[in-house]
Amino acid sequence: DPLKRVAIVGSGNWGSTIAKIIGNNIVKFNTFENEVRMYVYEEMVDGRKLTEIINEEHENTKYLPGHKFTPNIVAYADVVETVKDADILLFILPHQFVERTCNAIKSHVKPGAFAVSFSKGFYVGKDNTVELLSTAITRLLEIPCYVVMGANIASEVASGTFCEATVGARNYEHGQMVKGLLQTEEFRIVIKPDTEVIEVLGALKNIVAVAAGFSDGLGYGDNTKAAVIRLGLKEMVKFCEEFFPGHHPHIFLESCGVADLVTTCYGGRNRKVAAAFVKTGKDIKTLEAEMLNGQKLQGPDAAAEVKEWLKEKGQANKFPLFTAVHDICERRIEPTALIDALRYHPEFW
């Protein structure tokens, strides 16, 4: 069989971390081409093109400074060139950019290829229909799409401190390929078949992390944050049961569930910016630009997407934490109203 080619679509904080891992791992297999192309949304960094910096210094000095890639990671500014010969397409973009990137490569994907989405969020179509990103990728590219989700603050994963992730795949062979590309001694991978729920949990926990950040910003303590996490988890479980029934009940105990929720509510960007939103009174977009140096928030947009989803299904009143997060981000209600959403939660009726 010809060697399989892997392409990485995206090169932000998490995309670069995955590139670092895969660049090292891939040379251990005799089934994969060693060269991995990585799509870089071109920009100038210190007067140089980011693709040039990556290809010359083997480092993404903007989004993952201090970590070297192996030289088999090759940066491309042209997304079609990146993916056209690839058998495995890893989508690691902020979720807001997934659809337009798929449209750009639509008729250039190799037959028989498959995709893997690492992005956390939903896709809202023009008629306000809401879709999973993996579903949108499959629809647009006509290839299967699996997912990777987990408690994975990128800088920690890149540093090699121990953690784990969940691969969602019902195709055994493809799931094993993804696991082989990702797993190291310090990054342990579990494959589970509940792909949809695994993806949904990754998107929803960012909304809860925004709520945790509001709680921190308001100066409330650990008990309140624990209540945010618990009630948030209840809504995550309810959302999955309501809209994606049939999953294994223990899926919430995997890295993609409770573990990702906890790490993001303590160490994530969503939490950090949401706390600053309360403390400074500045809006989310301003803080994202001021605090994240080009990195993107996923939680506030996911809250808007979920609100749309719940509106369409007539179920918004069952998810007061999710909906309060959106209303607070939009300044329709005060941050303190988060506590009312918790106080009068259906849990206590």
Active-site amino acid positions: 205
61 binds ligand NAD (CB under 6 A): no
Report the partner that residue 151 touches, choosing among ligand 13P, ligand NAD, none (CB closer than 5 to 8 A by kind): ligand 13P
Give the per-residue contact string, 99-138, with ligand NAD (x = CB under 6 A; - = no).
Answer: --x----------------xxxx-----------------
Cβ contact 113:87 at 8 Å: yes
Total residues interacting with ligand NAD, rule: CB under 6 A: 25
Distance separating alpha carbons of residues 203 and 321, to the nearest angstrom: 15
Q: Out of 14, 122, 187, 244, which residue is the one contacting ligand NAD (CB under 6 A)?
A: 14
Coil, strand or helix at 75:
strand
Q: Out of 152, 195, 215, 255, which residue is the one contacting ligand NAD (CB under 6 A)?
A: 152
Considering only 102-110, 187-195, 264-272, 309-317, which stretch makes contact with ligand 13P by CB under 6 A? 264-272
322 binds ligand NAD (CB under 6 A): no
- Touching ligand NAD, residues 35-54 (CB under 6 A): 41
95 binds ligand 13P (CB under 6 A): no
Report the partner that residue 32 touches, choosing among ligand 13P, ligand NAD, none (CB closer than 5 to 8 A by kind): none
One DSSP character per residue, 297-331 reads --HHHHHHHHHHHHHHHT-GGG-HHHHHHHHHHTT
92 binds ligand NAD (CB under 6 A): yes
Residues 6+ apart with CB under 8 A from 109: 83, 84, 86, 89, 141, 142, 143
Q: Out of 82, 166, 195, 298, which residue is the one contacting ligand NAD (CB under 6 A)?
A: 298
Q: Out of 53, 140, 154, 256, which residue is the one contacting ligand NAD (CB under 6 A)?
A: 154
- Of 93, 92, 134, 94, the C-alpha closest to 114 is 134
11 binds ligand NAD (CB under 6 A): yes
325 binds ligand 13P (CB under 6 A): no
Rg for the chain, CA atoms, rounded: 20
Q: What backbone phi and psi angles, to 5 degrees, belong to 66?
A: 90, 5
Cβ contact 136:45 at 8 Å: no
Report the partner that residue 270 touches, choosing among ligand 13P, ligand NAD, none (CB closer than 5 to 8 A by kind): ligand 13P
Query: In terms of CB distance, is 87 or 194 closer to ligand 13P?
Result: 194
260 binds ligand 13P (CB under 6 A): yes
- List alpha helices for the chain, DSSP H: 13-25, 50-57, 79-83, 98-105, 133-141, 154-159, 172-182, 195-217, 222-243, 260-267, 269-280, 284-292, 299-313, 320-329, 337-343
Residue 106, strand partner residues? none
Q: Out of 37, 58, 67, 95, which residue is the one contacting ligand NAD (CB under 6 A)?
A: 95
One DSSP character per residue, 120-164 reads -SEEE-TTS-EEEHHHHHHHHH-S-EEEEE-S--HHHHHHT--EE
- Touching ligand 13P, residues 200-259 (CB under 6 A): 206, 209
- What is the bridge-based pairing of β-strands 163-168 and 145-149? antiparallel
Query: In terms of CB distance, is 82 or 152 closer to ligand 13P?
Result: 152
Rounded to a whole number of angstroms, the distance between the first and last alpha carbons of the chain is 61
Report the partner that residue 118 touches, choosing among ligand NAD, ligand 13P, none (CB closer than 5 to 8 A by kind): ligand NAD
Distance separating alpha carbons of residues 250 and 268, to the nearest angstrom: 24
Contact positions vs ligand NAD (CB under 6 A)? 10-15, 41, 63, 92-95, 97, 101, 118-121, 152-154, 294-296, 298
